[in-house]
């Protein structure tokens, strides 16, 4: 604990490797809104937590945190992010060479009431817009959107946050899992009590049960998609369970190396169905920065530029969480930016990302995010995203051995031949071989037919 203040009295939120919120997918948690430049305070007769051990005697309870935080609202909780340079090591935080990200949360089941207060008036022209959250265990928690911060329309930020928090409290998505289990048990008991099912045994009973399940799924989809958005969100959790079940089925088909045409056709149909439904975790610009904060005519203000950068940083971390596991699994280590654009938008479904936003987001990967992924531009102009630990460098002895062993054949390796071993396109394989040549690992033999690469015999140490 750094000091005795409201922020450090809250429980830690689990983060992804890139520093984003680790959503509880088992409970169908979804991101709703994100706002930066928020002050966090506490109002109550006693401190939120006992005095921590080892705290200096001069340190007293502070009702407000010394820093501003980033507010992120989900269907289950609101999370406060604090990003700072260096500092004391904090267990459960994401650390890097330059940045520490700490995240604390309050579950919405702990919130009894939400009040919208504050704002400039004749008597208090500099008063800030506030949200007062009356909780069961922490007394009153206050989120302050200051009007003098220059970060856009603080009243709009406050109002949109209140709207999302109120809807989340009304829906109580954290209770959905329990309700679904009760509903499932009720449907199972109804099926077992049907007069017709009592006469069915063996395979006939299994077929009847599968038919009833398919009818229930069809009814669920029809009810959810025929009403308004609120009704859709009410049924979204159960729809998501059905989608997740079919996603596992697709992965099973992809992992099966058999040449069964029926399985391949079913996998293609299921992929098309799931891609049409989109990804639930992508935040749009409006949810990141508020209505109109990133648009408009004329030159953007510095505050709008900062919010646009926050959006691009969030997107860059999403790209890292999406791409890093896939690059490690395939062993490629890199992917062209055009391929990343296609795959990432395919995963997002309907919430598509523009080429400009992806370009600006990936450019931030080289500016101290430390997510294990970086952007690189080859001399030919090809832009790729690559894993930091697999990037070619003079100190990467494992990569040097890999490329020297790759070209130890008597006839060396051409870019086309190397592309099969590296599992890259011939264009990217050529760039990798040329980079290894620039590092002194390889040398080339250029002929009229092709260019072949051989180990540099002058390299004798590894």
Express each pLDDT in 223-256 by its tens digit: 555 555 555 555 555 555 665 565 565 556 555 5
Report the length, in residues, of the chain: 462
Give the span between the Cα atoms of 47 and 54, in whole angstroms.
17
More confident residue, 123 or 168: 168
What φ, ψ does residue 262 adopt, rounded to 5°? -65, -45
Class of domain 303-389: mainly alpha
Angle between helices 202-226 and 229-255 (to 10 degrees): 130
Give the span between the Cα atoms of 276 and 346, in whole angstroms.
9
Report whether 37 contacts 146 (CB < 8 A): yes
Which CATH code is given to the segment(s) 392-461?
Answer: 1.10.10.10
Domains 6-86+97-171 and 392-461 agree in fold: no
pLDDT in tens, 350-369: 678 889 999 999 999 988 78
Q: Does the pTM of the predicted model rise above 0.85? A: no
Which of 350, 282, 285, 342 lies closest to 318, judged by CA?
A: 282
Q: Which residues contact 195 (CB under 8 A, 6 or more apart)?
A: none
Mean pLDDT in the chain? 78
Q: Taking 80 as the threshold, does the pLDDT of residue 33 lie above it? A: yes
Q: Which residues contact 203 (CB under 8 A, 6 or more apart)?
A: none
- Hey, where are the domains in the chain? 6-86+97-171, 303-389, 392-461
Give the span between the Cα atoms of 106 and 133, in whole angstroms.
10
Q: Residue 10: pLDDT band by 50, 70, 90 thresholds?
A: very high
Q: For residue 455, what are the β-bridge partners?
A: 442
Q: Taking 60 as the threshold, does the pLDDT of residue 420 lie above it? A: yes
Q: Residue 96: pLDDT band by 50, 70, 90 thresholds?
A: very low
How confident is the model at residue 51, as a pLDDT? 84
Report whether 37 contacts 68 (CB < 8 A): yes
Tokens of 233: 């969100």
Q: Edge-to-edge, what's the strand order for the sheet holding 413-414?
A: 413-414, 451-455, 442-446
Instruction: Please say whether the dihedral angle defined by the alpha carbons of residues 157, 24, 222 and 252, taken in this order, is positive or negative.
Output: positive
Q: Taking 80 as the threshold, does the pLDDT of residue 156 lie above it? A: yes
Judged by average pLDDT, the poorest of 68-72, 216-220, 424-428 is 216-220
In order of 254, 327, 420, the CA distances from 423 in angstroms are: 18, 11, 5
Give the span between the Cα atoms of 69 and 340, in whole angstroms.
31
The answer regarding whether domain 6-86+97-171 maps to CATH 3.40.1580.10 reads: no
């Amino acid at each position: 604990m750094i000091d005795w203040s409201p922020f450090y009295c809250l429980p830690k939120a689990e983060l992804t490797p890139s520093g984003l919120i680790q959503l509880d997918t088992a409970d169908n948690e979804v991101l709703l809104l994100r706002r930066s430049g928020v002050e966090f305070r506490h109002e109550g007769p006693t401190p939120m937590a006992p005095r921590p051990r080892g705290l200096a005697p001069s340190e007293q309870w502070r009702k407000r945190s010394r820093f501003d935080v980033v507010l992120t609202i989900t269907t289950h909780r609101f999370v406060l992010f604090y990003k700072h340079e260096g500092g004391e090591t904090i267990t459960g935080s994401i650390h890097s060479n330059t940045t520490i990200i700490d995240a604390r949360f309050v579950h919405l089941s702990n919130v009894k009431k939400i009040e919208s207060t504050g704002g400039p008036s004749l008597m208090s022209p500099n008063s800030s817009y506030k949200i007062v959250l009356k909780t069961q265990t922490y007394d009153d928690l206050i989120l302050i959107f200051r009007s003098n911060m220059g970060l856009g329309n603080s009243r709009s930020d406050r109002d949109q946050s209140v709207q999302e928090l109120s809807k989340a409290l009304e829906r109580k998505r954290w209770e959905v899992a329990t309700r679904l289990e009760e509903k499932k048990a009720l449907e199972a008991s109804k099926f077992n009590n049907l007069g017709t099912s009592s006469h069915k045994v063996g395979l006939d009973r299994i077929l009847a049960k599968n038919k009833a399940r398919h009818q229930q799924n069809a009814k669920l989809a029809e009810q959810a998609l025929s009403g308004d958005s609120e009704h859709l969100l009410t049924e979204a959790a159960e729809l998501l369970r059905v989608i997740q079940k079919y996603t596992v089925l697709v992965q099973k088909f992809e992992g099966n190396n058999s040449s069964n045409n029926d399985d391949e056709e079913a996998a293609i149909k299921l992929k098309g169905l799931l891609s049409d439904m989109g990804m639930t975790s992508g935040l749009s610009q409006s949810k990141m920065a508020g209505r109109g904060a990133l648009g408009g005519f004329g030159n953007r203000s510095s505050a709008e530029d900062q919010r646009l950068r926050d959006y691009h940083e969030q997107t860059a971390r999403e790209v890292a969480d999406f791409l890093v596991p896939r690059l490690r699994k395939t062993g490629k280590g890199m992917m062209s930016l055009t391929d990343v654009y296609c795959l990432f938008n395919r995963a997002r479904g309907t919430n598509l990302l523009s080429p400009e936003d992806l370009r600006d987001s990936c450019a931030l990967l080289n500016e101290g995010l430390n997510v294990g992924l970086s952007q690189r531009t080859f001399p030919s102009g090809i832009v790729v995203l690559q894993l930091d630990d697999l990037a070619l460098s003079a100190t990467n002895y494992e990569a040097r051995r890999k490329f020297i062993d790759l070209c130890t054949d008597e006839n060396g390796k051409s870019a086309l031949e190397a592309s099969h071993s590296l599992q890259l396109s011939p264009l990217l394989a050529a760039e990798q071989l040329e980079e290894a040549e620039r590092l002194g690992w390889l040398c080339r033999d250029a002929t009229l037919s092709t260019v072949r690469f051989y180990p540099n015999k002058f390299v004798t140490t590894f």
